[in-house]
């Protein structure tokens, strides 16, 4: 049955002037009117998807943005499935979220495969499901009520006409979805780059399409600043998120884009949008800690770690566990430090290394290094880097003492040993040979954030 | 300084499997078109810090992100004094 509950997302396409551009890339341009038309065609052609729980797999961000409104106009639950999900995780996710149809969108069209039949109540508020990246063990599956996802998006159609957003995140991840919803809630256009694009080409496309609002990780911004021609971006609004925004990158953006409104955002898939900082300084004001009058988000610091309580947070964790206390605060795992009247981010308590927005678990790399026959032990840690925020460094105890030339050769040997086993950003950038690696009383490697 | 940077530049290219090697790099070579991607560039800065015990990007009051090889060398020359 088609739900009679109004869907605030699908409603957008009725409200926005049909000649406004919805999404575009270098090759294609789709208006809000085009989508409105497709919605009615789709619900006729795929009437069997009405009220069903669907997993949606697409091969590009653009394709996902194209089909999402169509599926949302008819389905009950939508799982925005990332491509790289392991088979056993996929199976578990499908069971936990009662998926009935898997919809594959390829160059050849839409292919819907029936998995199961589930009896569920009609007229449910639509839920969207996202998977976390799962760098810390198994990915988590998180379900959001549509209204809570759209809560922070401003809905001003008049102002929206002047905003042209650029997308440089995946649309099936929390950060990308936020940018997307923000853009379309006000009827703005979204210019979509793909993860496979060269950055310089993405920047060229953004300039070409007169993009004036852009949200990206600090690492991505640093590379934009290094890209010739990036000064021609006429930015009104700059958003940073996903990593620690340091003062240097904030200052640099201010200098290059004098007219831009610069905001850094604290958000996570589990905790939802936490808060934004608009004063151009790293970290956030100390008075954000404690109960807030104006927002539904409450913050506290326990043992140097930031905890967050967010009303509009995920409605349910369907798979995986998060640390949550009796008052409803979620442990973010982010270590903070108070300096004067400012709270600054230091790193992750799990030791997770964030290389340009990609999370790296030290133990995973240590396991590979330790599997080399001439390595006795290794320790992997993150070290601050001005370009990517952090880089992977390793200390290695070699079986035999090495002279300078042998060290060079063995480093080379270790790196090629890691290639093929690890993604490039996980391979240690710096390898240092040491005589011992400190362990604590329980025999674990002593880890401290550098 | 230029020789050290060129040496480490090739090492970073090597580490990222760029399959390239430079005997000489001209000042107007655009960094992001030199075969180094953002990871390679981050590695270059880290290798130079290991070699010179210097990360000029941490020392800058006014942030500068170089776009050519000449600008990059100039930054290191300025901060190595």
Give the C-alpha separation, A310 to A324, whole Å: 12
R_g over Cα of chain B: 12
Q: Which residues of B touch A (CB under 8 A)?
A: 14-17, 30-33, 38-39, 41-43, 45-47, 50, 55, 57-58, 60, 62-67
Q: How far apart are CA B54 and CA B46, in angstroms?
A: 9
Minimum Cα–Cα distance from B71: chain A residue: A226
A210 touching B (Cβ < 8 Å): no
> How many Å separate Cα A225 from the centre of its chain?
21
Please state, in angstroms and rounded to a whole number, the distance separating the CA atoms of residues A397 and A52: 56
**Dist. CA A204–CA A199, nearest whole Å:** 9
Would an 8 Å CB–CB cutoff place A245 in contact with chain B?
no
A434 touches chain B (CB under 8 A): no
User: Is A402 a domain residue?
Assistant: yes
Residue among A200, A384, A424 whose CB faces B16 most closely:
A424
Is A252 in contact with B46 (Cβ distance < 8 A)? no
CA atoms within 13 A on the CB side of B5: 21
Q: Strand runs (DSSP E) across A193-260, as ranges? A: 213-216, 237-240
Nearest residue of chain B to residue A254 (CA atoms): B63
Average pLDDT of B7-22?
Answer: 91
Which chain B residues have a beta carbon less than 8 Å from that of A228? 30, 32, 67
- In chain B, the number of structural domains is 1
Shortest distance between the Cα of A332 and any Cα of chain B, in A, equals: 27
Strand partners, A384: A390
Q: How far is CA A332 from the centre of its chain?
A: 15
Of all residues in chain B, the one with the smallest CA distance to A253 is B63
CB contact (8 A) between residue B65 and residue A391: no
DSSP-derived secondary structure for A222-235: HHHHHSTTGGG---
CA angle A34, A36, A37 (to 5 degrees): 65
Range of the domain at A416: 353-433
Contact assessment for residue A349 and residue A333, using Cβ atoms and an 8 Å cutoff: yes
Q: Report the alpha-carbon distance of residue A364 to residue A35 in Å, rounded.
A: 44
User: Are A425 and B67 an interchain contact pair (Cβ–Cβ within 8 Å)?
Assistant: no
Dihedral angle sign, alpha carbons of residues A156, A161, A162, A168: positive
Q: How far apart are CA A388 and CA A395, in angstroms?
A: 20
Using CB atoms, which residue from A223, A393, A415 is nearest to B38? A223
Residue of A228, A388, A419 lying closest to B67 (CB–CB) = A228
Residue B38 has its nearest CB partner, among A356, A393, A415, at: A356
- Tracing tokens 């809000």 back to the chain, one arrives at A32
Show Cβ contacts of residue A391 under 8 Å, excluding neighbours closer than 6 positions. Answer: A353, A355, A382, A383, A385, A429, A430, B42, B43, B46
Among candidate residues A141, A164, A363, the one with its CA nearest the CA of residue A269: A141
Give a yes or no: residue A410 inside a domain.
yes
* Predicted local confidence at residue A37, as pLDDT: 95
Measured in degrees and rounded to the nearest 5, phi and psi for residue B41 equal -70, -40
Please give the structure tokens belonging to residue B18. Answer: 């760029």
Confidence (pLDDT) at A267: 83
C-alpha–C-alpha distance, residues A209 and A232, integer Å: 12
pTM of this structure: 0.79
Q: What is the DSSP letter of A444?
A: P
- Enter the tokens of residue A316: 């349910």
The per-residue pLDDT for A336 is 92
This complex has an ipTM of 0.93
Question: Measured between CA atoms, how close is B79 to chain A, in angstroms?
Answer: 15
The C-alpha atoms of residue A186 and residue A237 are separated, in whole angstroms, by 15
- d(C-alpha A141, C-alpha A137), whole Å: 13
Helices (H) then strands (E): counts for chain B = 4, 0
Shortest Cα distance from B1 to chain A (angstroms)?
A: 20
User: Sign of dihedral through CA atoms B33, B38, B42, B44?
Assistant: negative
Nearest CA in chain A to B38: A223
Q: Which of B30, B43, B68 is nearest to A393 (CA)?
A: B43
State the pLDDT at residue A166: 95
CB contact under 8 A, B67 and A227: yes
Interface of A with B in 175-194 (CB under 8 A): none
8 Å CB contact of B65 and A252 = yes
Chain A residue closest to B67 (CA)?
Answer: A226
Q: A32-45 and A61-72 are packed helices; what angle lies between their axes, rounded to 10 degrees?
A: 60
- Interfacial A residues in 342-361 facing B (CB < 8 Å): 355-356
Q: Which residues of chain B have a CB within 8 Å of the CB of A353? A: none
pLDDT by residue for chain A (450 residues), tens digit each? 444 567 889 999 999 999 999 999 999 999 999 999 999 999 899 999 999 999 999 999 999 999 999 999 999 999 999 987 888 899 999 999 999 999 999 888 899 999 888 776 666 788 999 988 665 567 888 888 888 788 777 788 899 999 999 998 889 988 889 999 999 999 999 999 998 887 778 888 999 999 999 998 887 888 888 887 888 999 999 999 888 888 888 998 999 999 999 999 988 777 777 889 999 999 999 999 988 766 778 999 998 999 998 876 566 777 777 788 888 888 888 889 999 999 999 877 778 898 988 888 888 899 899 889 899 889 999 999 999 999 999 999 998 889 999 999 999 999 999 998 898 999 999 999 998 888 766 666 777 644
Q: What's the N-to-C CA distance of chain A in angstroms?
A: 56
Pairwise CA distance, residues A241 & A395, whole Å? 30
**How large is the C-alpha radius of gyration of chain A?**
23
What does the alpha-carbon distance between residue A331 and residue A372 come to, in Å, rounded to a whole number? Answer: 36
How many residues in total does chain B contain? 81
Instruction: For residue B35, give its domain range.
Output: 2-79
User: Which has the closest alpha carbon to A334: A244, A269, A273?
Assistant: A244
* The pLDDT value given to residue A450: 43
Distance from CA of A306 to the nearest CA of B (A): 26
Is position A214 within any domain?
Answer: no
Domain-embedded: residue A109 = no
Contact A227, A193 (CB under 8 A): no
d(CA A158, CA A421): 51
The three-class DSSP label of residue A187 is coil
Nearest CA in chain A to B64: A252
pLDDT score, position A121: 65
Q: Which residues of B touch A227 (CB under 8 A)?
A: 32, 67
CATH number for position B6: 1.10.1200.10
Cβ contacts from A onto B, under 8 A: 74
What is the nearest CA distance from B42 to chain A, expressed in angstroms?
5
Q: What is the CATH number of the domain that holds A374?
A: 3.30.300.30
Q: State the total domains in chain A.
A: 1
Within a domain: A423:
yes
Element (H, E) at B59: helix B56-59
What is the dihedral angle through the alpha carbons of A255, A260, A266, A270, rounded to the nearest 10 degrees? -130
Closest CB to B39: pick one of A227, A228, A424.
A424
Facing residues of A318 across strands? none
């Amino acid at each position: 049955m088609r739900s009679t509950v109004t869907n605030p997302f699908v409603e957008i396409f009725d409200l926005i002037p049909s000649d406004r551009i919805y999404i575009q890339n270098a090759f294609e341009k789709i208006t809000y009117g085009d989508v409105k038309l497709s919605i009615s065609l789709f619900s006729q052609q795929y009437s069997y998807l009405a009220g069903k729980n669907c997993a949606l797999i697409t091969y590009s961000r653009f394709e996902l943005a194209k089909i999402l409104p169509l599926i949302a106009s008819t389905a009950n639950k939508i799982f925005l499935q990332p491509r790289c999900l392991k088979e056993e995780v996929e199976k578990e996710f499908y069971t936990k979220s009662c998926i009935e149809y898997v919809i594959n969108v390829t160059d050849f069209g839409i292919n819907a495969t029936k998995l199961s039949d589930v009896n569920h109540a009609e007229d449910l508020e639509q839920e969207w499901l996202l998977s976390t990246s799962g760098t810390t063990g198994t990915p988590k599956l998180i379900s959001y009520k549509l209204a809570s996802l759209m809560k922070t998006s401003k809905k001003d159609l008049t102002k929206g006409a002047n905003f042209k957003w650029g997308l440089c995140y995946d649309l099936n991840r929390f950060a990308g979805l936020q940018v997307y919803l923000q853009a379309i809630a006000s009827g703005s256009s979204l210019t979509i780059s793909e993860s496979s694009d060269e950055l310089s080409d993405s920047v060229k496309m953004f300039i070409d399409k007169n993009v004036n609002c852009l949200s990206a990780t600090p690492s991505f911004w640093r590379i934009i600043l290094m890209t010739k021609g990036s000064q021609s971006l006429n930015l009104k609004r700059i958003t940073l998120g996903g990593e620690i925004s340091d003062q240097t990158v904030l200052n640099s953006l201010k200098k290059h884009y004098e007219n831009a409104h610069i905001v850094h955002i604290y958000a996570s898939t589990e905790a939802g949008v936490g808060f934004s900082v608009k004063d151009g300084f790293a970290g956030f004001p100390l008075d954000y800690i404690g109960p807030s009058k104006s927002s539904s988000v409450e913050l506290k610091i326990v043992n140097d770690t930031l905890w967050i309580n967010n009303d509009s947070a995920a409605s349910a964790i369907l798979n995986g566990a998060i640390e949550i206390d009796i008052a409803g605060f979620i442990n973010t795992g982010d270590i903070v430090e108070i300096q004067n009247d400012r709270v600054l981010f230091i790193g992750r308590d799990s030791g997770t290394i964030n290389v340009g927005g990609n999370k790296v678990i030290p133990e995973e790399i240590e396991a590979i290094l330790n599997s080399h026959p001439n390595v006795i032990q290794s320790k992997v840690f993150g070290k601050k880097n001005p370009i990517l925020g952090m880089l992977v460094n390793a200390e290695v105890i070699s079986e035999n003492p090495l002279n300078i030339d042998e060290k060079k050769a063995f480093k080379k040997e270790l790196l090629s040993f890691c290639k093929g086993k690890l993604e490039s950003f996980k391979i240690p950038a710096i390898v240092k040979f040491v005589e011992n690696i400190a362990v604590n009383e329980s025999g674990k490697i002593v880890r401290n954030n550098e | 300084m230029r020789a050290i940077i060129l040496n480490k530049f090739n090492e970073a290219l090597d580490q990222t499997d760029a399959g390239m090697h430079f005997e000489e790099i001209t000042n107007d070579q655009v960094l992001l078109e030199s075969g180094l991607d953002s990871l390679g560039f981050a590695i270059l800065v880290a290798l130079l810090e290991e070699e010179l015990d210097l990360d000029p990007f941490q020392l800058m009051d006014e942030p500068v992100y170089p776009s050519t090889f000449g600008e990059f060398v100039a930054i290191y020359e300025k901060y190595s004094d």
